[in-house]
Structure 1
Amino acid sequence: MVSNLDAVQDELAASGFPPLANKLAGRGFRARIATRDLGPLRLVSLATPESACVGRERDARDGENLAVKVMTRGRTRIGQGRGEAELGPADLVLLDPTRGVRFESTASAHVTILVPRRELRIRPAQVDRLIGVRIDGNNGPGALVSALARESARSVTGFRAGDALRSAAAVVELISVALEARLGDNRPGPDERLRDRITGYIEARLADPGLSPPGIAAAHHISVRRLHKLFEDQPLTVAALIRRRRLEHCRAELAGSGRTITAVAARWGFADPTHFSKLFKATYGYTARALVTSNSARTTKTLTAPPEQDGGRQQTR
């Protein structure tokens, strides 16, 4: 369907994209947009006229998904993090909806796959190296992802729930392979390798309430100052990374485990329930209790509603 700028921005925001200021959009702006769901994935097809857009950083609560953008027509220059990619037809790029982004494009069309972070088997430090980096969509694993994304945007309809989940898992697997292959093409330097090891160390010990920069530095035989230097050009400091990953684990578990808030907080290193509750609210904009209540209501509704097929849907205006 054809939409004006406000309608397109509303649809993108509803799908988890950051608000974009388009410097070239006027009253005559027209675009085509359609969304389809495949299990936990959302595919967004968008065709726009020539554009020059800037998007600001977003709150951490908007960081559930990563986005794989696949060009189908036209060219675009897109910058995010330390990467800047020149994309042509079939090329793809990994984007983080919580980070600032800028891009300039000719009249173009693309398909974006929104993938829950937890579904990808790459570590946060690896994501940092991939954000905003061009992945060749004409050769190797990238070509498979590119072809699948373009075809899926047209044909994802009528899937039963189980089939949709298995198909989504296959898509995620291909994306993971393409990202890992790109990491191999862009081998990290000594500092990046050390930072990767430290990030993995942190991830494996998030449940330890004693996890802290001094202990992390000692375990890697470096000074605390050196540790902080390694992370000074990263989106998060060491302490903030620990806090963010713990909160993300807590939020995921509270949304589906049925355990109490106090138990989940303690499991992920938050010994003080009051401090955890304040930190959760400050980070996500809603309380942990509200998340548990909302999930309970959705679960009850699902149990009482008739089964539905998990297929595609196209928005119209």
Structure 2
Amino acid sequence: MLPESPVNEKSPHTCENVLYDVDVAAVHLEHAAGEVLRTLWPLVDPDSGVMVVGAVCRDVLHAALGMSEQLTATGDLDLAFGVKGWEQYRALTSRLESVAGSGSNIRYRVAGTLVDLVPFGDVEEPVGEVRLPHETSMMSVFGFQEVFAAASRVTLAGGAAVRLPTPAGYAALKLKAWVDRRAHHESKDGRDLGTVMSWYEQSPQVIDRLYEPDDNDAAAAGVLEAADFDPALGAVELLARDAMSVIGANRHAELRRLWQSVDDDLLATDLAPRRALPRGPRTGRLDERVLALRRGIDGPTLR
């Protein structure tokens, strides 16, 4: 059984002390996925759950955090479906219209929308990976269980509900996705990481944590000093620390190992929105942000 998480009983909602408006999140989720979720909801086992991931998750959090910067438009809808076994996944998807020739065996048409429905939970073997029936390749669902456990439960009109990852949870998924997909020359996850960094850099709650960390806030302790008292860089390191706290010790150790082979210069290029930077040594903000991110990932597990 997947763990419960908070219901949107009040607004705004605090996750890792990053304040966002859950009512705004509900409005944007209603617009992006309301009909899809209402169609799926009667088919979902009450002990399981649906979590929004991908670009819609990014856009909803961006709006709920009060950000006005325009993001890259997308028509994709990615939902992660927590299951206790393949029979449960097949029982759900057998009632949906599979989209043949899409290049993805997890794509369905739901309420007129193309949806990638990603299974996770008890079907993971090993943890963080799933092999779809009749497939030979593995699909990464790294951190999905942990991010789900920390996610907010947002209820929409008609009672349909979806889990919304915290900003740090979303960042953790993106840190792994960038490593995986950059090997295939895909850079979009880097731009998404840059967006999440801006959420933390502009958060008053993050700044408060950096300058006056609570005694119980292990993630914020010593971060500002490590960033040479630069709050923007401190915010990036704190984002990484919060993300590692969300995914816990085992997943953190996995990501730390993967990060040993990361090309810092390449990530700095990918963080830049909509422009290519020349390869080679650079000393600007982007390189410093990558180093701050690395400090958070290379640091100790905080829970």
The normalised TM-score by structure 2 is 0.27
Compare CA radii of gyration and give the structure with the larger one.
1
Please identify which structure carries the higher strand content: 1
